[in-house]
Structure 1
């Protein structure tokens, strides 16, 4: 199972290295054929799907920041202690082009630490207090976003006006408690003082030979799709082993990506489950890593792998 790079390892360094990229358009005036802020652009489409961005005119470079909540979600409200799970689209109002979209870059979602000192204010200021399920539109000048510079990696000049489309897709916090005691082939889950899984325990000597999904609790968010954005916390352990081979709960960064890039067992069983769901999933080799196993994780070709999973966001 691949683990796509989260926000701080993927896009964020591009957005916090302005000293290398102080270049690009420097037109600070309002020319004919330009419009201020959000008046220059139309953004349509459903939250959780790539927005359709249509530029009516170029955006004036000296436009003041402009923010609106185009869609108000009915999910949880984000606090400054949360890690927001956001599908992000960035448009350049100077040349009227989309320069970045997490919908198409492979990860689907970005993890944005709202408590982080290095998180861009344009994100933090507009996400804290927002509700999950919202679409927020923000315009800002590159010099304000990038501390006086632009970003050549994204094709952004130091005076370019920018559009940010923020689709807030999570986190949905799962309810229900993982079973503490194993029963039959369904594992028990040990947790730390914060209730985060630390390992699995097993009762039966042999695992279920088939794919086996146990829904601990069902969420209320959007349903998981094969190619849409997905974020989960998870713990994986070989059936009968004494400790996990991988987990995200203690790392503070969920797995973000698309279900189509993960093992077949996840693809077959998680599609259709709503965000906010908590499940246990037992995967025989046929739907896991096959006869080759995954030696780097200590998984043999005959091993059944078992996961505790919290679905935090989907689209």
Structure 2
């Protein structure tokens, strides 16, 4: 065996040594359970019995024709996702531009904005549940502002904004870090050249900086889109889908279907539809944003 072939064999062995364990872990923990869920979506099963009764497309027929609660939760999920994607990315980008400039204490502010992201969403939901009740009551006693006495978790019109506020507050730090990294990758010589040409700060941002950080925008919109569609933890602990079913997301509806009323087969059918929706929207978003990226 020649020296060249030995090197090639060693590279193949090293490659396999690193990739095969990861591939097996993903196969056992993700792919196989997902395929089992797809199979379960064609059955009538309560999640406990050993035998699953095959019923074909009956779960999907019920989902599309008879389950009005599912489509109400779908509408709320889409509204929440759209608003959270827009608000999170706009606020995160604004703060990233601000914290990337020469201001005092910017490192401390970066850490402060990131801290909520490392706290469990379940805990955050309970914290904000306390703030919206006892905390706002204390604020009303101190300030006399009637806005603090509104039923932020009991009013069907206000609860949407409460959920949106908590979602943005929690996720902001992660996207802020991504945008700061993108801003720091913009070549300084382009900025300096535009300054010499007399370009104003807003013009420099929209004509140079924004196109250059499109990869960061693609990543942030992708994550905020997928996370919004999968919203579960903060809803469960903050409102539990209430008042009534006003804040029930698709993920929470799936949880209730599978583990509360024990219709596991029907719940997995809903999860398959949610997966396909996330997959489709994510592919469309990534393709659309990739076309606008600028090669450095």
TM-score, with structure 2 as normaliser? 0.22
* Pair member with larger Rg: 2
Structure ranking higher in helix proportion: 2
Normalising by structure 1, we get a TM-score of 0.21
Higher RCO structure, 1 or 2 (CA under 8 Å, sep 6+): 2
